[in-house]
């Protein structure tokens, strides 16, 4: 077929072209990383518009992040040669859901200017409700309930739909009831939480068929990126919109799929996948949604109307949000949900060079729960994936810093460089290093380390100790964690401070001597003032790091997060530990705080060119020429949580995350691991990640750390460290990695002379990477 047609179709391969041009009926593009799925979606929109099949406001297009939505608009403009006007329905599930909800707010008992609560507001409200029910907040923390409600909402469950057992699992059986009350209170407050943006939208559609019909009519085309990471609520929402508009008068229940979230159904699915019976046909597991359903003969014709033109793209190997309720099943079930769907597979990867793609494919082949797919590249082999060990995380940061400077000297654009970490606490070390080197960087998908809420809170305590006149700091934490010192108290303190021209903290000291506060608040404030006095005295006799630990502990701040059951609480606790650890590098509290103010002051930062720093989770869908992957150690990556867990689901999700990381790289992928990492305040010797063992030797090269003394290559402490590792490994067979590295250390600094490398290679193959027993080598 001649490559005739509009310009934007040029260069697409036949399968991509088919995915773009099949505009009618459901289409699923199920394909691996870098095969052009997102590009297909963007081109498809261009095609729809240029063919005049729909206007911009008639296309619903869902991306995973707001950033991805912006990018898509930009590309569209380039393809069509003009900026795209409108596209009001291109965005994330939540932004689009929120938008629809505002238009029809009154139908779900809200006003169009409703507030979207953040987690703190949510917790505050739940706390009130717990109190009203006489439920002990210590035993049943409000944050835990917030996490529960969130997970129910992700699963599309309104209060009446929560399975009784689950509803009763919290607060002596009262969890479900409080969820219901909470929803009622939100209405009174004219507020919605994040989960409501979709859940209330679903309710809106279910209770108002005419409204649903309006949107079914409006959206002529639906497109969804990263379909493998949709959760049940998102799925239900899409299902509603993707039906051809129902005729007025027809019961809505007819077009709503069976209750996918019923415990019975879920139970069956779970039991099946747990039994490990390969890949059971989905049709047996899920109730057949009633469409097209039998209708009276007269209506049969109309009823046969096709489903909406929906196109979903995804990759089961990149499903990484299971922990947040995403259901990879959604993608596996597509053909069943959308009968007659055209499934298109793309096999050519356009992103990565040969070695990188081979390494990533080999790694992911260790997962059992996957569809399996071929990926090939026509690109050159390029550079091998490198693996570099360092002594500790500091050396790791130094090594990467040096490599970055080298890349910069070689004329690489820093915008094409990314560092992808498993856990956000890892960022701290890199950020400090980059500040020292004067290397511009940006943190994507979250705040920079020292700007995180929990870090700012902790710093506020330390600042208040260091400088009692630091009103901003004191005000930030006076009621964090909650100690009954609300707005009224703070207002009173401000009045006092202003009148007497004294700092807020001194005002507090004065106010507790009066009877202006209610006894309870007064007692609480007095305790706080005395605590600070005590901490300031301790400062003279203890180290600043110890002091920080004491403060976080005694203030109840750490405990507040320990009780928090929201998904990011564990990460916050890790960040706090990392903060304490970072203080060690400074002589005293004063020096540390000065450093922080310097780091924080870089707000102007990152002009045009900057290195990107982000978690692996936020890297989804992105690509960079050079990708650095630090921290590949057991307990960090894969994370300890997944190691402790029964079953392999968590571990397989970690492996998919590793796969996502590697497949972000176009030309260079560089993996790092440190032999020692400070976790929970103590140094521990770490074991290189099992994922390293799962890389194919042929595509990997071990390199020297550029970060300092080298770890083993230059003799020194190298060898003794490996002795240590070997004795450590009584329950482990010493992995190939460590043996290879140990040989190197003993070899007395054999830099990568030819023989040295071969020796390492052979050590690989003879050991089969150490842990082949763990999973199949495919």
Q: Provide the annotated active-site residues.
A: 37-38, 225-226, 318, 664
Counting contacts by CB under 6 A, is residue 595 touching ligand ATP? no
Assess contact for 472 and 497: CB atoms under 8 A.
no
Q: How many CB atoms lie within 10 A of CB 461?
A: 24
Counting contacts by CB under 5 A, is residue 32 touching Mg ion? no
Q: What are phi and psi of 309, to 5 degrees?
A: -80, 90
Could you say which of ligand ATP, Mg ion, none residue 721 binds, taking C-beta under 5 to 8 angstroms by partner kind? none
Please say which residue, 37 or 291, places its beta carbon nearer to Mg ion.
37
- On whether 397 is known to bind a ligand per the annotation, the reply is no
Please say which residue, 38 or 61, places its beta carbon nearer to Mg ion.
38
Binding mask 282-321 for ligand ATP (x = CB under 6 A): ---------------------------------x--x---
**Listed ranges 8-16, 258-266, 354-362, 727-735: which one lies at the site for ligand ATP (CB under 6 A):** 8-16
Residues in 622-651 that interact with ligand ATP by CB under 6 A: 623
Please say which residue, 38 or 261, places its beta carbon nearer to Mg ion.
38
HEC readout, 37-89: HHHHHHHHHHHHHHCCCCCHHHEEEECCCHHHHHHHHHHHHHHHCCCCCCCCC
- Strand 682-685 vs strand 221-224: parallel, antiparallel, or unpaired? unpaired
**Listed ranges 11-19, 83-91, 433-441, 682-690: which one lies at the site for ligand ATP (CB under 6 A):** 11-19
**Listed ranges 12-20, 111-119, 516-524, 751-759: which one lies at the site for ligand ATP (CB under 6 A):** 12-20
Q: Is 564 exposed, middle or buried (0-12, 13-18, 19+ CB in 10 A)?
A: buried
Least separation in angstroms between residue 653's CB and ligand ATP is: 16
Assess contact for 532 and 505: CB atoms under 8 A.
yes
Quick one: how far is CA 67 from the chain centroid?
Answer: 14
Counting contacts by CB under 6 A, is residue 351 touching ligand ATP? yes
- On whether 353 is known to bind a ligand per the annotation, the reply is no
Counting contacts by CB under 6 A, is residue 621 touching ligand ATP? yes
CA 580 to each of CA 546, 577, 586: distance values in angstroms, whole numbers, following the listed order: 8, 5, 11
Assess contact for 456 and 480: CB atoms under 8 A.
no
- Total residues contacting Mg ion (rule CB under 5 A)? 3
Q: What is the CA radius of gyration of the chain?
A: 28
Could you say which of Mg ion, ligand ATP, none residue 39 binds, taking C-beta under 5 to 8 angstroms by partner kind? ligand ATP
Assess contact for 760 and 728: CB atoms under 8 A.
no
User: How would you label 120-153 residue by residue, b for 16+ Cβ within 10 Å and e otherwise?
Assistant: eebbebbbebbeeeebebeebbbbbbbbbbbbbb
Which residue among 8, 27, 28, 37 contacts ligand ATP (CB under 6 A)?
Answer: 37
HEC readout, 241-267: HHCCCCCCCCCHHHHCCCCCCCHHHHH
Residue labelled with tokens 């796969």: 659
Which residue among 35, 61, 63, 689 contacts ligand ATP (CB under 6 A)?
Answer: 35
Which residue among 26, 34, 141, 747 contacts ligand ATP (CB under 6 A)?
Answer: 34
Q: Is 695 exposed, middle or buried (0-12, 13-18, 19+ CB in 10 A)?
A: buried
Q: What is the largest CA-CA distance in the chain?
A: 89
- On whether 168 is known to bind a ligand per the annotation, the reply is no
Gap between the Cα atoms of 267 and 260, Å rounded: 11
Least separation in angstroms between residue 185's CB and ligand ATP is: 40
Of 39, 34, 32, 33, whose CA–CA distance to 16 is shortest? 39
**Listed ranges 6-14, 444-452, 561-569, 742-750: which one lies at the site for ligand ATP (CB under 6 A):** 6-14
Q: Between vectors from CA 164 to CA 159 and to CA 170, what angle results, nearest 5°? A: 80
- On whether 31 is known to bind a ligand per the annotation, the reply is yes
Could you say which of ligand ATP, Mg ion, none residue 11 binds, taking C-beta under 5 to 8 angstroms by partner kind? ligand ATP
Gap between the Cα atoms of 582 and 429, Å rounded: 8
Could you say which of ligand ATP, Mg ion, none residue 280 binds, taking C-beta under 5 to 8 angstroms by partner kind? none
Please say which residue, 61 or 181, places its beta carbon nearer to Mg ion.
61
Please say which residue, 200 or 315, places its beta carbon nearer to ligand ATP.
315
What DSSP letter does each residue of 274-329 carry, written as one string?
HTT-S---GGGTSPPP-TTPP--GGGHHHHTPPPPEEEEEE-GGG---GGGTB-TH
Least separation in angstroms between residue 33's CB and Mg ion is: 8
Could you say which of ligand ATP, Mg ion, none residue 36 binds, taking C-beta under 5 to 8 angstroms by partner kind? ligand ATP
Which residue among 194, 323, 350, 732 contacts ligand ATP (CB under 6 A)?
Answer: 350
Say if residue 638 is preceded by a cis peptide, omega within 30 of 0. yes
How do the residues of the chain divide into helix, strand and coil, expressed in percent and rounded to 5? Answer: 55, 10, 35
Say if residue 481 is preceded by a cis peptide, omega within 30 of 0. yes
Could you say which of ligand ATP, Mg ion, none residue 16 binds, taking C-beta under 5 to 8 angstroms by partner kind? ligand ATP
Please say which residue, 12 or 548, places its beta carbon nearer to ligand ATP.
12
What DSSP letter does each residue of 190-240 carry, written as one string?
TEE-TTHHHHHHHHHHHH-HHHHHHHHHH-SEEEESSGGG-BHHHHHHHHH
Q: What are phi and psi of 684, to 5 degrees?
A: -135, 150
Shortest-Cβ-distance residue relative to ligand ATP = 36
Which residue among 35, 38, 216, 228 contacts Mg ion (CB under 5 A)?
Answer: 38
Please say which residue, 156 or 621, places its beta carbon nearer to Mg ion.
621
Could you say which of ligand ATP, Mg ion, none residue 176 binds, taking C-beta under 5 to 8 angstroms by partner kind? none
Sequence-ordered strand ranges (E) for 507-644: 611-615, 624-629
Counting contacts by CB under 5 A, is residue 314 touching Mg ion? no
Which residue among 8, 15, 16, 175 contacts ligand ATP (CB under 6 A)?
Answer: 16
Counting contacts by CB under 6 A, is residue 171 touching ligand ATP? no
- On whether 37 is known to bind a ligand per the annotation, the reply is yes
Assess contact for 92 and 69: CB atoms under 8 A.
yes
Please say which residue, 350 or 732, places its beta carbon nearer to ligand ATP.
350
Residue labelled with tokens 């060079």: 353
Could you say which of ligand ATP, Mg ion, none residue 33 binds, taking C-beta under 5 to 8 angstroms by partner kind? ligand ATP
- On whether 33 is known to bind a ligand per the annotation, the reply is yes
Counting contacts by CB under 6 A, is residue 12 touching ligand ATP? yes
Counting contacts by CB under 5 A, is residue 621 touching Mg ion? yes
Residues in 529-548 that interact with ligand ATP by CB under 6 A: none
Residue labelled with tokens 């499934």: 343
CA 361 to each of CA 384, 662, 694, 701, 777: distance values in angstroms, whole numbers, following the listed order: 14, 9, 10, 17, 12
Could you say which of ligand ATP, Mg ion, none residue 230 binds, taking C-beta under 5 to 8 angstroms by partner kind? none
Least separation in angstroms between residue 438's CB and ligand ATP is: 30
Q: Sign (positive/negative) of CA torsion 317, 321, 322, 325?
A: negative
Residue 11, by phi and psi: left (phi above 0), alpha (psi -120 to 50) or beta?
left
Counting contacts by CB under 6 A, is residue 39 touching ligand ATP? yes
**Listed ranges 30-38, 411-419, 572-580, 643-651: which one lies at the site for Mg ion (CB under 5 A):** 30-38
Could you say which of Mg ion, ligand ATP, none residue 34 binds, taking C-beta under 5 to 8 angstroms by partner kind? ligand ATP
Could you say which of Mg ion, ligand ATP, none residue 61 binds, taking C-beta under 5 to 8 angstroms by partner kind? none
Counting contacts by CB under 5 A, is residue 228 touching Mg ion? no
Please say which residue, 202 or 360, places its beta carbon nearer to ligand ATP.
360
Binding mask 669-698 for Mg ion (x = CB under 5 A): ------------------------------
Counting contacts by CB under 5 A, is residue 319 touching Mg ion? no
Binding site for ATP: residue ranges?
31-38
Binding site for ligand ATP (CB under 6 A): 11-13, 16, 33-39, 315, 318, 350-351, 621, 623, 663
Binding site for Mg ion (CB under 5 A): 37-38, 621
């Amino acid at each position: 077929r001649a490559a005739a047609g509009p310009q934007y179709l040029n260069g697409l391969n036949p399968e991509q072209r088919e995915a773009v041009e099949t505009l009618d009926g459901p289409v699923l593009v199920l394909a691996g990383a870098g095969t052009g799925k997102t590009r297909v979606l963007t081109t498809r929109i261009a095609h729809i518009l240029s063919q005049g099949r729909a206007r911009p406001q008639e296309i619903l297009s869902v991306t995973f992040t707001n950033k991805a939505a912006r990018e898509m608009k930009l590309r569209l403009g380039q393809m069509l040669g003009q900026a795209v006007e409108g596209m009001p329905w291109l965005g994330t599930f939540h932004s689009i859901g929120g938008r629809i909800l505002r238009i029809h707010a009154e139908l779900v008992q809200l006003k169009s200017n409703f507030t979207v609560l953040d987690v703190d507001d949510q917790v505050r409200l739940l706390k009130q409700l717990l109190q009203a029910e006489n439920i002990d907040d210590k035993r049943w923390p409000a944050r835990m309930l917030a996490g529960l409600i969130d997970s129910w909402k992700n699963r599309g469950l309104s209060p009446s739909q929560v399975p009784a057992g689950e509803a009763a699992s919290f607060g002596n059986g009262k969890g479900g009831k409080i969820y219901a009350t909470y929803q009622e209170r939100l209405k009174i407050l004219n507020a919605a939480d994040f989960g409501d943006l979709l859940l209330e939208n679903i309710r809106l559609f279910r209770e108002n068929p005419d409204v649903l019909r309006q949107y079914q009519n409006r959206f002529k085309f639906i497109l969804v990126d990263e379909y493998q990471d949709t959760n049940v609520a998102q799925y239900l929402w899409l299902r509603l919109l993707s039906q051809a508009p129902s005729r007025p008068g027809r019961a809505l229940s007819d077009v709503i799929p069976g209750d996918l979230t019923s415990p019975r159904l879920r139970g069956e699915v779970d039991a099946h996948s747990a039994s490990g019976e390969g890949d059971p046909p989905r049709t047996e597991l899920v109730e057949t949604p009633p469409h097209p359903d039998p209708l009276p003969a007269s209506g049969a014709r109309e009823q046969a109307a096709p489903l909406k033109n929906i196109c979903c793209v995804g990759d089961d190997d990149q499903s990484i949000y299971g922990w947040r309720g995403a259901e990879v099943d959604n993608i596996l079930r597509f053909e069943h949900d959308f009968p007659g769907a055209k499934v298109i597979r793309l096999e050519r990867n356009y992103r990565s060079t040969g070695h990188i793609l081979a390494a990533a494919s080999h790694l992911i082949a260790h997962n059992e729960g996957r569809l399996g797919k071929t990926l090939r590249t026509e690109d050159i082999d390029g550079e091998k994936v490198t693996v570099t060990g360092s002594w500790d995380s500091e050396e790791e940061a130094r090594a990467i810093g040096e490599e970055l400077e080298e890349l910069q000297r070689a004329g690489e654009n820093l915008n094409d460089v990314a560092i992808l970490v498993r856990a956000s606490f890892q960022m701290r070390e890199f950020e400090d290093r980059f500040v020292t080197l004067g290397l511009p960087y940006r943190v994507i998908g979250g705040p920079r380390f020292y700007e995180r809420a929990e870090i700012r809170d902790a710093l506020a305590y330390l600042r208040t100790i260091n400088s009692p006149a630091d009103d901003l700091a004191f005000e930030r934490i006076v009621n964090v964690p909650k100690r009954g010192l609300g707005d009224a108290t703070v207002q009173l303190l401000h009045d006092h401070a202003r009148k007497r021209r004294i700092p807020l903290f001194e005002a507090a000291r004065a106010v507790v001597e009066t009877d202006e506060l209610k006894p309870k608040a007064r007692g609480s404030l007095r305790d706080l003032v005395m605590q600070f006095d005590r901490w300031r005295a301790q400062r003279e006799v203890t180290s600043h790091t110890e002091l920080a630990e004491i403060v976080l502990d005694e203030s109840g701040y750490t405990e507040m997060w320990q009780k928090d059951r929201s998904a990011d609480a564990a990460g916050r606790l890790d960040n706090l530990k990392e903060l304490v650890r970072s203080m060690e590098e400074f002589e005293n509290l004063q020096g540390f705080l000065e450093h922080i103010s310097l780091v924080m002051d870089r707000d102007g930062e990152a002009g045009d060119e900057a290195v990107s720093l982000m978690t692996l989770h936020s890297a989804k869908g992105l690509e960079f020429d050079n990708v650095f992957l630090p921290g590949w150690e057991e307990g960090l990556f894969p994370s300890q949580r997944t190691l402790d867990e029964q079953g392999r689901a968590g571990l397989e999700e970690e492996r998919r995350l590793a796969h996502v990381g590697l497949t972000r790289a176009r030309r260079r992928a560089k993996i790092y691991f440190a032999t020692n990492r400070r976790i929970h305040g103590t140094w521990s010797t770490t074991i290189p990640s099992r994922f390293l063992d799962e890389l194919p030797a042929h595509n990997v090269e071990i390199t020297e750390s550029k970060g300092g003394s080298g770890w083993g290559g230059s003799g020194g402490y190298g060898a003794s460290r490996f002795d240590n590792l070997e004795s450590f490994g009584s329950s482990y067979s010493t992995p190939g990695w460590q043996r290879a590295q140990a040989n190197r250390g003993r070899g007395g600094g054999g830099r990568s002379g030819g023989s040295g490398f071969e020796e390492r290679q052979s050590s690989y193959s003879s050991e089969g990477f150490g842990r082949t027993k763990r999973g199949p080598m495919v």
